[in-house]
Amino acid sequence: MRKDEAIKIVQPALTEERFKHTLRVAETAVGLADMYQVSKEKVELAAIFHDYAKYRPLKEMKEFILNSQLPNDLLDYHHEVWHGPVASVVVEEQFGINDREIKDAIRYHTTGKAGLGIVEKVIFLADYIEPGRSFPGIEKVRDMARKDLNHACWMVSRNTIQFLLSKNATIYPDSFHAYNYFLTLMNK
């Protein structure tokens, strides 16, 4: 699918702010793809669709997960962890996007997971550091993004887990697996 076609599909499903975030994630991801020799076409398409399902009604997402191959344990956690997995299935079913790297980048963009591939890492990181974000400590992650992709992804995992702990929130197990995985890869 071409970029302009993807944008035409995604824009009406999002708020204006979320759509702008999506375009910034795409631009950031393409920059990272340049640095780390990843397919720009793949990261761009994954970025455009990554938050596609963010505003689906919760009841609809719940039904969708129950009727799909997606793990039902997603439903035991906060609904924020649903939109990536749901979008990854929708893009294949509705638009025939069956590239595994693109689908997995969409699927795991919120939590990460162990064994994440490079396209997936670029989206995971770009979603966090796009220029519209202002998380505590984000400048350190932006600096690291230019030096070591795995180290920067580990910082994203760590910061997100720290943030969730501070709110006494539930944490999806893949988020911990991602943290451990990135730690084993850092500086290698």
Map residues 10-49 to x or -, x wherever contact with ligand DGI holds by CB under 6 A.
Answer: ----------------------------------------
Cα distance between the two ends of the chain: 35
Query: Measured between alpha carbons, how far is 182 from 166 in angstroms, rounded to an integer?
Result: 22
How far is 32 from 90, CA to CA, in rounded Å?
26
- Residues 82, 89: Cα–Cα separation, whole Å: 11
State which residue, 88 or 110, has the beta carbon closest to ligand DGI: 110
Residues in 96-115 that interact with ligand DGI by CB under 6 A: 109-111
Establish if 80 lies at the interface with ligand DGI (CB under 6 A).
Answer: yes
Closest to ligand DGI by CB, 54 vs 103, is 54
Q: Considering beta carbons, is residue 166 or 187 the nearer one to ligand DGI?
A: 166
Give, as one character, the DSSP assignment of residue 114.
Answer: T
> Quick check: 51 binds ligand DGI (CB under 6 A)?
yes
The backbone torsions φ and ψ at residue 122, rounded to the nearest 5 degrees and listed phi first, read -60, -40
44 binds Fe ion (CB under 5 A): no
Q: How far apart are CA 177 and CA 157, in angstroms?
A: 9
Compute how many residues bind ligand DGI; rule: CB under 6 A: 17
- Please give the structure tokens belonging to residue 172: 């999806």
Nearer to ligand DGI, 96 or 105 (CB): 105
Distance between CA atoms of 34 and 91, rounded to whole angstroms? 25
Q: Decide whether 37 or 89 has the Cβ nearer to ligand DGI.
A: 89
Q: How far is the CB of 5 from ligand DGI (least distance, A)?
A: 22
Which of 74, 83, 149, 150 has the alpha carbon at shortest distance from 110? 83
Q: Which of the 8 DSSP states describes residue 54? A: T
> Taking the complex as a whole, how short is the minimal distance between the CB of residue 53 and Fe ion, in angstroms?
9
Q: Which residues bind ligand DGI (CB under 6 A)?
A: 51, 54, 77-78, 80-81, 109-111, 127, 160, 164, 169-172, 175
Q: Which residues bind Fe ion (CB under 5 A)?
A: 51, 127
